[in-house]
Amino acid sequence: MTNLLTSELVTAVSAVRLAARICQSVQRQIRPDVLEKQDKSPVTIADFASQAAVCRTLRKVFAEDAIVGEEDSAELKSPENAGFLDRIRSELAAVGLEADGEEICRWIDQGAGLPGPRFWTLDPIDGTKGFVRGEQYAISLALLINNRIELAVLGCPNLPLSGGVDCSKSGEGTLMYAIRGAGAFSVPISGDSFSPLEGVPVRTRSCADWSEAVLCESVESGHSSHSQSAEIAHGLGIRNEPVRLDSQAKYAVVARGDADAYLRLPTRKGYREKIWDHAGGVLVVEEAGGKVTDVTGQPLNFGCGRELAENRGVIVSSGPLHQSLIAAMQAAGV
């Protein structure tokens, strides 16, 4: 592992691990009736607390760096949400971050920055429905310099370190990280210290025949067209059932060879993906040997602000079969 960006990597891993501890704590407290009532309160608490923890950790070391996150504290400042802020304060205190409500809101709002020559982009909880269900979700953090992803950390608290997606076998969970040109690596998501030398290299699978390939896609059909995915899979001769899981954990399973491709197909005209929904996973897959483009085969352009405004959809693969996947999508009229 190169020494370039080592300080950034160590800080980012520490931030994501801290956020993961918060998210795991909140997820353990979710009662069965929360899902039945579609109660979003646990997600709200974990989302804001996760962003506060990451922003506070980053800004202590890299005070000049902008952070482009998903949240701001505006809704927490209304009197009717005082209970949420108290719960957020409690979760932060449990991991050693003591602060009052005003300071917590400042931490959260540090993530409301704008893209610049050097900035971080953060999704404090990617896969909120998976989080509520007790299934897969991710904490995604990436550093961009001159609109190019240079460093990524992808924390998947419920993704088993040994492989597969069975949450009951999650154990310590998985954290993947990558620095451009230095490869992708995996470590347990828990831990009090970190050295880049302890990571286990992650590589995509060399699948040469689509008949043996495994696709992964979103659980929610509103996030990606399941019907088009099925049509594409049929056209390619894929025999295996798709693996469905939430969040950027899909990038992680492609990166380590549990799946061969991830399709994020457009579900409505004009929709553009947010940069924080992909930046962390993109570099991990690419440094593991895979390929990421939009549905037309164009590289993702992270230089258009908070959205991938020049791209449509996202296609992730282990690499060798990427062009045939693009051709199959064109044949399906995607």
What confidence score (pLDDT) does residue 39 get?
Answer: 56
Per-residue pLDDT averaged across 17-33, rounded? 90
Whether 51 maps to a domain, the answer reads yes
Per-residue pLDDT averaged across 105-120, rounded? 96
Mean pLDDT score of the chain: 91
Share above pLDDT 70 across residues of the chain, in percent, rounded to a whole number: 93
Task: Tell me the longest C-alpha to C-alpha distance in the chain.
Answer: 58
Whether 281 maps to a domain, the answer reads yes
What confidence score (pLDDT) does residue 260 get?
Answer: 95
Per-residue pLDDT averaged across 242-252, rounded? 94
Task: Tell me the pLDDT tens digit for each residue of 223-238.
Answer: 556 778 888 888 898 9
Q: Residue 296 corresponds to which tokens in the numbers above?
A: 């037309």
Task: Tell me the pLDDT tens digit for each residue of 158-167.
Answer: 999 988 888 7
Domain boundary among 156, 176, 201: 201
Whether 1 maps to a domain, the answer reads no
More confident residue, 42 or 6: 6
Q: What are the CA-CA distances from residue 163 to residues 37, 42, 140, 174, 262 (Å)?
A: 32, 27, 19, 9, 17
What confidence score (pLDDT) does residue 287 get?
Answer: 98
Domain boundary among 141, 176, 201: 201
Q: Residue 2: which pLDDT band, with cuts at 50, 70 and 90?
A: low
Do 105 and 236 fall within a single domain?
Answer: no
Judged by average pLDDT, the poorest of 2-6, 240-244, 264-268 is 2-6
**Alpha helices (H) along 239-319:** 249-255, 279-287
Do 96 and 132 fall within a single domain?
Answer: yes
Do 184 and 311 fall within a single domain?
Answer: no
Task: Tell me the pLDDT tens digit for each residue of 255-294.
Answer: 999 999 999 987 778 889 999 999 999 999 999 999 999 9
Q: Residue 37: which pLDDT band, with cuts at 50, 70 and 90?
A: very low
More confident residue, 200 or 166: 200
- State how many domains the chain has: 2
Per-residue pLDDT averaged across 209-223, rounded? 81
Helix (H, G, I), strand (E, B) or coil at 179: strand
- The helix (H) or strand (E) run that includes residue 149 is strand 148-156
- The helix (H) or strand (E) run that includes residue 92 is helix 82-94
pLDDT surpassing 80 at residue 124: yes
Catalytic residue numbers read 47, 128
Task: Tell me the pLDDT tens digit for each residue of 164-179.
Answer: 888 766 567 999 999 9
Per-residue pLDDT averaged across 118-134, rounded? 94
Do 28 and 90 fall within a single domain?
Answer: yes
Do 145 and 112 fall within a single domain?
Answer: yes
Rounded to 10 deg, the angle between the 41-61 and 101-109 helix axes is 70
Task: Tell me the pLDDT tens digit for each residue of 144-163.
Answer: 999 999 999 999 999 999 88
Judged by average pLDDT, the poorest of 103-107, 165-169, 237-241, 247-251 is 165-169
Do 225 and 189 fall within a single domain?
Answer: no
Do 112 and 254 fall within a single domain?
Answer: no
Distance, CA of 248 to CA of 176 (rounded, Å):
11
Whether 247 maps to a domain, the answer reads yes
Per-residue pLDDT averaged across 308-321, rounded? 94
Do 189 and 217 fall within a single domain?
Answer: no
**Exposed, middle or buried by CB within 10 Å (0-12, 13-18, 19+), for 104?**
buried
What confidence score (pLDDT) does residue 225 get?
Answer: 63
Domain boundary among 146, 177, 201: 201
What confidence score (pLDDT) does residue 323 get?
Answer: 92
Q: 226 is in which domain, residue-wise?
A: 210-331
Question: The domain spanning residue 215 has which CATH number?
Answer: 3.40.190.80
Per-residue pLDDT averaged across 76-100, rounded? 93
More confident residue, 81 or 281: 281
Per-residue pLDDT averaged across 30-52, rounded? 77
